[in-house]
Amino acid sequence: MLNLIQDLRTELNDINSTYSRIGIELNTSCPNISGHPPPAYSPESLKPLLQVFQERYAQDPTLTIGLKLAPYVHAGQFKDIIDLLASISTGEVGYVRQNCVSFLSCTNTLGSSIVFEEQTVSKDSSGSVYAVPTVTGGLAGEPLHALALG
């Protein structure tokens, strides 16, 4: 994936710019790998992915990389991600440590949410009492906004 992105940046002459117009956002919240938590909740699963980005960033510091994180609900989860990001930081420029991650998108979707059909704006004629076929889904968008800001 990184090779293809870098090829595109080269083709668009973006790779020769001081700042990239093309950014990568790795969704660490929704891979939905059966039997495993999303990498955002598992620093040991997320670290190898970040190490790949760190290596590529060392080769090209104009590479813009961000992470889309899962919703964190307690202080330990925030500490884990901060510690993980600190562990992949490299040498200092001035008094600032360098990190391959340049931005974070927080709170993608809050999983295991139930929406009943009467809570939806348009009724589906499927006859199900649930708005989504699998009974559970994710809370996102405007309904999640207040929680995300919290």
CB proximity list for 93: less than 8 A, separation 6 or greater = none
Q: Say yes or no: 31 and 87 in one domain.
A: yes
- CATH number for the domain spanning 48: value is 3.20.20.70
Query: Domain range holding 147?
Result: 111-150
Chain-centroid distance of CA 82 in Å reads: 14
Q: Say yes or no: 86 and 116 in one domain.
A: no
Q: Say yes or no: 29 and 70 in one domain.
A: yes
pLDDT in tens, 95-132: 778 899 999 988 767 766 666 666 666 655 556 655 55
- Mean pLDDT computed over every residue of the chain: 81
Q: Say yes or no: 78 and 122 in one domain.
A: no
Q: Look at residue 94 in the predicted model and tell me its pLDDT.
A: 72
Q: Say yes or no: 38 and 81 in one domain.
A: yes
Q: Say yes or no: 84 and 149 in one domain.
A: no
